[in-house]
Amino acid sequence: MLANTLSDILSSAALYGSTVRFAVILAFAAVGEWVAERAGTLNISLESFMIGGAYSSAVAVGAWHNVPAALAVGVLAGAAVSSAQAWLSHRLTIDQFVVGLTLNIFVLGLALFLDHRWKAVTPVPKAWRIPLLHRIPVVGQALFGQPWPMLLIVPLVVLAWWLVFRTRWGLEVRSVGDNPQAADVSGIHVNRRRRQAILFAGACCGLGGGVLVLGQIGINGYEPGHVGLKGIIAIAAVIFGGWTLRGTVAGCLLFGYFFAFQQAKLVDINPQLNASLPYLVALGITAIFARRTRQPRALAQPFLRGLT
């Protein structure tokens, strides 16, 4: 019995396909948050960025019937919500955790309110198969047979790496995350760089929300439960990855697997335990890895000029 269950888990092409789909959505948010956390900000408001992007994209595609334009609207919506986080926490210096919690509740409530008036129904996406590669046994369909919006994660990861490690802006972002007082002395506007990093995270999350409703097979329209705390799990993926980009992506794959495992119900376990499985794993991993890896030294610390 156990051998058959393990065989189903390890050889299920459907499970791998679901893992990739969940991991990609998490990665859109996690990559943006990785950039923001390298600047010293911790945004528990990722959930609100994703909800804004998801609902806006769904409404836009219903109005225009144009998926690329709708995804662009999602990016703008995520950036707009993140601008509130950036302005309140890094210009008015309000506690960023309080701002994040407030934004999560506010944007969820706003989307619920608007959804009663502008119901969003989205087209069902078709798989975009890469020739030959999608025929690879077990994992081919999962990796190379997804709807095209899912593939946007590849250039996004490359862009994030290039921005952080190959541009002056990225060097300044890393410096304000590790030693904001020294960065300030050298002429870098610390809070401006932090606000810009948050805007980048918001745009990534907005795109992730758009891909969630427009690039996921089986989803037809926006529903409040679609995001389902994935923004919080994305933060756990960054911590799991030790604030490295490759580790963050690996964390998304790990959590994506547990989301897929939860959905597949290959093992007969308590329904409540199954529903909470990804979040329990995230909690445990965060507790273990948060103190075993080197985080940006000024992470979550507000910057006030002249204070050390």
**Alpha-carbon gap, residue 112 to 59, rounded angstroms:** 13
pLDDT of residue 307: 52
Q: Is residue 9, in this structure, part of any structural domain at all?
A: no
More confident residue, 41 or 305: 41
Q: Is residue 5, in this structure, part of any structural domain at all?
A: no
Reported as a pLDDT band with limits 50, 70 and 90, residue 5 is: very low
pLDDT exceeds 60 at position 109 = yes
In this predicted structure, which of 27-41, 85-99, 139-153, 215-229 has the lowest mean pLDDT?
Answer: 215-229
Q: Which of 40-44, 142-146, 199-203 has the highest mean pLDDT?
A: 199-203
φ, ψ at 27 (rounded to 5°) = -65, -35
pLDDT of residue 175: 96
Q: Is residue 132, in this structure, part of any structural domain at all?
A: no
- The number of domains in the chain is 1
Q: Which of 120-124, 158-162, 253-257 has the highest mean pLDDT?
A: 158-162
Reported as a pLDDT band with limits 50, 70 and 90, residue 285 is: confident
Q: Residue 159 is part of which domain span?
A: 14-124+142-289
Q: Is residue 302, in this structure, part of any structural domain at all?
A: no
Q: Where are the alpha helices (DSSP H) in 116-178?
A: 140-144, 153-166, 168-178
pLDDT of residue 145: 82
Q: Is residue 270, in this structure, part of any structural domain at all?
A: yes
Reported as a pLDDT band with limits 50, 70 and 90, residue 158 is: very high
Task: Give residue 270's identity as a one-letter amino acid code.
Answer: N
pLDDT exceeds 80 at position 235 = yes
Reported as a pLDDT band with limits 50, 70 and 90, residue 12 is: low
Q: Kindly state the DSSP code that residue 222 receives in the 8-state scheme.
A: -
**Alpha-carbon gap, residue 49 to 113, rounded angstroms:** 17
Q: Is residue 133, in this structure, part of any structural domain at all?
A: no
**Alpha-carbon gap, residue 199 to 39, rounded angstroms:** 12
pLDDT of residue 127: 75
* CATH code of the domain covering residue 23: 1.10.3470.10
pLDDT of residue 98: 92
Q: Tally the residues of the chain.
A: 308
For residues 217-243, average pLDDT: 83
